C-alpha cells in the first residue's frame, strides 16, 4: 500500500471513530437549566427511536387552551437498560413531567429530568421517581 492510501485509511478510521463521539452533545445549548417547567398532560405520541426518544403531550395552559408540548427523553438504548420499551407509554396516559425549557423561542419543548404517572407514582414498577441528587 502506498503512503497516500495509508493516510486515507487512517483519516477514514479517525473520522469513523471520532464522529460518533463528537455527535453527542450536551443539552445546555438547547435547553435552559435555569428555566424549569412542570407539566401534566395526556400523551398523544411516543417516538422511541435514535438518537433520542420524544414524547408529545397535550397540556392545558392557564387560559384553558390545549397546547402540544414536545418532551425530549434519553437515547432508546439507555431507556431500554432501565426497562423502557416502545410500549411503556401509551397514547392517552396522563403523566407529570418536569424538565428544562427549550431555548428556541415560540416552541413548547423541554428536556425531561423527571416523569411520573398522574398519581405521582413511577412510570415503571421499581423505577426512580425523583431526580438524582447532584450535590
Question: What whole-number distance in Å separates Cα of residue 5 and Cα of residue 88?
Answer: 49
| β 66-72/109-117 pair status | parallel
Neighbours of 127 (CB within 10 A): 15
The predicted pLDDT at position 128 comes to: 55
Q: Is the pLDDT of residue 51 over 60?
A: yes
Give the chain's mean pLDDT: 81
- Smallest CA-to-CA distance from 96 within 51, 42, 46, 133 is with 42
Question: Residue 48: enclosing H or E segment and its boundaries?
Answer: none
CATH T-level fold of 31-117 = OB fold (Dihydrolipoamide Acetyltransferase, E2P) (2.40.50)
Distances (CA, A) of 61 to 27, 67, 72, 113, 119: 25, 7, 20, 21, 20
Segment 17-29 mean pLDDT: 50
The predicted pLDDT at position 20 comes to: 46
- Report pTM: 0.72
Q: Is the pLDDT of residue 40 over 90?
A: yes
Q: Confidence band (pLDDT; 50, 70, 90) for 27?
A: low
Instruction: Give the pLDDT confidence of 57-81 residue by residue, as tens digits.
Output: 999 999 999 999 999 999 999 999 9
The predicted pLDDT at position 107 comes to: 86
The predicted pLDDT at position 132 comes to: 55
- Smallest CA-to-CA distance from 101 within 90, 113, 93 is with 113
Segment 85-90 mean pLDDT: 94
Amino acid at each position: 500500500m502506498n503512503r497516500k492510501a495509508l493516510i486515507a485509511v487512517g483519516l477514514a478510521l479517525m473520522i469513523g471513530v471520532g464522529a460518533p463521539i463528537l455527535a453527542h452533545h450536551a443539552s445546555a445549548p438547547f435547553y435552559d437549566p435555569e428555566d424549569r417547567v412542570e407539566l401534566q398532560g395526556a400523551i398523544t405520541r411516543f417516538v422511541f427511536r435514535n438518537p433520542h426518544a420524544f414524547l408529545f403531550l397535550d397540556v392545558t395552559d392557564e387560559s384553558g387552551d390545549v397546547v402540544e408540548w414536545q418532551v425530549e427523553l434519553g437515547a432508546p438504548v439507555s431507556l431500554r437498560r432501565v426497562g423502557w420499551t416502545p410500549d411503556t407509554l401509551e397514547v392517552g396516559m396522563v403523566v407529570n413531567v418536569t424538565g428544562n425549557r427549550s431555548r428556541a423561542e415560540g416552541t413548547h419543548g423541554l428536556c425531561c429530568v423527571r416523569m411520573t404517572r398522574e398519581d405521582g407514582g413511577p412510570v415503571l414498577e421499581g423505577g426512580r421517581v425523583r431526580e438524582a441528587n447532584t450535590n
